[in-house]
A and B are shown apart, each in its own frame.
Chain A
Amino acid sequence: MIPDLGNYAVEVMSAYVLSILLLVAIVAVSLRRGRKVRGQLVKIEARKESANV
């Protein structure tokens, strides 16, 4: 499946693996933090509403 990378298999594979890992990481971190903050905001706005009532 993997094409014949010749002498440079280690280099090419490590470049791809590391880069893709970094991209996945920044996407995951951004999405996760976004979700967490959204939850916090909902909670604090609910508190505000109930405090106003």
Chain B
Amino acid sequence: MSIWEYANPKKFIATTTPLVPWVLGVAIACLVVGLVWGFFLTPDDFRQGSTVKIIYLHVPAALMAINAWFMMLAMSLIWLVRRHHVSALAARAAAPVGIVMTLIALITGAIWGQPMWGTWWAWDPRLTSFLILFLFYLGYMALWEAIEDPDTAADLTSVLCIVGSVFAVLSRYAVNFWNQGLHQGTSIPVATGERTISDVFFVPLLICMVGFGLLFLALVLIRTQTEIRVRRIRALEIRMRS
């Protein structure tokens, strides 16, 4: 029987291993159902034509891009206060998933805006905010990579995540302020809260949001397990060398 250094990580892996296939499976099922429904079975929008179909990718991805960062923030705080290694590793695990979500949000957002603005990229406040978020993710991941000692890295990246969150929110307001001078007309309409969206569009969108959320959860569980094992390997290597 292997002896783990900390009971917590072992319990985490034991508890989550049977869950992962289910979460991943349901996530993929939701995505397939949601995207197929949205792509094939919904009508075009009066103003935007078939580009409205991009909503089923853009909105869920954008939501997860932000939620992933908040999850990392929560995990960072838990690490700093309670020193549970699993939470630090979970934050590290979530970052690549979050950055992929951000990338999808950026790409789909830019493509969606193309017919409206005539260019493949426009400095729309929302898109620009996601571009800044992308940079925050990059910095966070780079800092993890740069620091050798894992606990030091966990501490520093946690502090960075907290400070970064404050500035990310600040940037959101700054960017809105920065772009209000340009009378651009509508930025990319987002379903949630900005306009009433009929059920025809909403239900597949909801399914896609659930799918993206579950996919994020599955990936974080898988990646956190991997991080725990990497940590364990490192500990064993050090112990065996001495």
Residues of A within 8 A of B (CB): 3-9, 11-12, 14-16, 18-19, 22-23, 25-27, 29-31, 33-34, 37-38, 40-41, 44-45, 47-48, 51
Contact = CB atoms under 8 A, between A and B. Distances in A.
| Chief secondary structure at chain A's binding surface | helix
Given A15-B111, A37-B229, A37-B233, 17 more contacts: A3-B50, A7-B49, A11-B54, A15-B108, A15-B112, A22-B100, A23-B104, A26-B97, A30-B97, A30-B219, A30-B226, A34-B222, A37-B226, A37-B230, A38-B226, A45-B2, A51-B240
Nearest to A43: B233
A12 to B, nearest CB: 5
B171 interface: no
A11 B51 contact: yes
A41 B2 CA distance: 11
Contacts of A9: 50
Nearest to A39: B229
A53 to B, nearest CB: 14
Contacts of B65: none
A48 B115 contact: no
A8 B54 CA distance: 11
